[in-house]
Copies of this chain bind each other. A is one copy, B any other.
Amino acid sequence: MRKRADTVQRSGAAAAGGTRPAGPAASRRAGGARIKGGADGPPGLRVPLSRERIVDAALELVEDHGLPGLTARRLGTALGCEAMSVYHHFPSQRHLHDALVEHAIAGIGEPPADLDPIDRLRFLGGEYRAMAHRYPRLFPLVALHRLNMPAGVAFIERMLRHFHAAVPEDRLAAQAFRIFGYYVLGAALDETSGYAEGPSAAVPVGDDFIAGECPLLAAAAPFFKRAHFDSTFALGFEIMLKGIAELRATLPAIARRSPKPVVRPKA
C-alpha cells in the first residue's frame, strides 16, 4: 500500500547498465520453466503447491528444526519452490501458523458416546496430551495460541459440551473446563518443552554440582524423566477429575438437570 521511498526499480540497472537484456533470470530460466519442462528434470515432476502440501512440509520442518527453523526460505527449499511462492497460499506466516494449529487440534478425537461424562473428559485429556507428544516442537505454538479462528471456537464448543455434561451449570462448567485445561496444558508443555526438553540455560550447572549441592533435586531428578511422565500425569489427572466430579455435587438439584431457564440446542 504505501510506496516505500521511491523504490529503486530494476530501472536502475536497466537504464544505466542496459546489459541486461534478459538478465540472469532468463538464463537460469533457460532451464526454462525450470523443473517441469526443462531438460534438467523429468517432466511433470513439479507438484503444484497446495495448502495441504505446505502444511505437511511446515510440520516436518518444525519437528526437525524447531519452531524458529520454520522460515519462508527453508520452507521453499523443502517444497522445491521459492520462498515467496508460499505466500500465495498463506499471505503471512501467521496464517500458516493458524493452519498448523488447526491441523494439530483437528487430530483430537471424540470420546466414545457411551462413556459417562467424567470418562469422556479423561479420554479428551489423553487425546490432547497425545497431540502434544505427536507435535512436541509445534506444541508451544498451539498452547499459546488463541483459539479464535473458526476451527478453534468449534473445538472449544465441542469441549464445553462434554464439560456441561459433567457439570451442568454454565459457570462451573466453564471453570471446570479452564481448570482441566490448566492442568493438561501445563503437563503437556512441561513434558514437551519443560524441565527435560526445553531451551537450556547458556551456562547450565553440571550434574556434579546438583549431586553435591542439591540433595533433594538429585533424589527427585529420576522421577522427572520421560519414564515417569505417564504415571505422574495420571496421578494429577485423577486428582483433577475427582475434583471436577465432586463439583457436580455442589450444585442444587435443579441445576443438575437444567442449567438455566434458557433453552439451548444440545448440539
A-side residues, CB < 8 A to B, are: 91-92, 94-95, 97-98, 140, 143-150, 152-154, 156-157, 160-161, 164, 170-171, 173-175, 177-179, 181-187, 189-190, 193-195, 198-205, 209-210, 213-217, 219-220, 223-224, 228, 231-233, 235-236, 239-240, 242-244, 260, 264-265
Cβ B181 vs Cβ A190 within 8 A: yes
- The count of identical subunits is 2
Taken together as a complex, chains A and B put the C-alpha atoms of A158 and B220 apart, in Å, by 12
Cβ B164 vs Cβ A204 within 8 A: no
Q: Which residue of B lies closest to A229 (CB)?
A: B178
Taken together as a complex, chains A and B put the C-alpha atoms of A122 and B265 apart, in Å, by 40
Q: Which 9 A-B pairs have the closest CB atoms?
A: A186-B186, A239-B243, A179-B236, A182-B186, A174-B220, A149-B201, A174-B223, A160-B216, A185-B186
Q: Which of B143, B147, B170, B193 contacts A220 (CB 8 A)?
A: B170
Chosen A-B contacts, 30 in total, with CB atoms closer than 8 Å, are A94-B202, A95-B202, A98-B201, A98-B202, A140-B144, A144-B189, A144-B193, A144-B194, A144-B199, A145-B201, A146-B194, A146-B204, A148-B204, A148-B205, A152-B205, A153-B217, A154-B214, A157-B214, A170-B219, A178-B223, A178-B224, A178-B232, A179-B232, A182-B236, A184-B186, A189-B189, A219-B260, A236-B243, A239-B239, A239-B244
Cβ B153 vs Cβ A214 within 8 A: yes
Q: Which residue of B lies closest to A102 (CB)?
A: B201
Cβ B199 vs Cβ A146 within 8 A: yes
A205-B264 contact, Cβ under 8 Å, with A181-B186, A186-B182 = no
Given contacts A152-B201, A171-B223, A182-B182, 7 further A-B contacts (CB under 8 A): A94-B201, A140-B144, A146-B198, A146-B200, A153-B209, A181-B190, A236-B243
A161-B194 contact, Cβ under 8 Å, with A183-B182, A201-B149, A228-B175 = no
Q: Which residue of B lies closest to A221 (CB)?
A: B174
Taken together as a complex, chains A and B put the C-alpha atoms of A171 and B181 apart, in Å, by 25
Q: Which residue of B lies closest to A216 (CB)?
A: B160
A200 CB contacts on chain B under 8 angstroms: 146, 148
> In the assembled complex, how far is the CB of residue A100 from the closest CB belonging to chain B, in whole angstroms?
12
A217 CB contacts on chain B under 8 angstroms: 153, 156-157, 160
A224 CB contacts on chain B under 8 angstroms: 174, 178
A244 CB contacts on chain B under 8 angstroms: 239
Q: Which residue of B lies closest to A94 (CB)?
A: B202
Taken together as a complex, chains A and B put the C-alpha atoms of A194 and B199 apart, in Å, by 21
Cβ B236 vs Cβ A178 within 8 A: yes
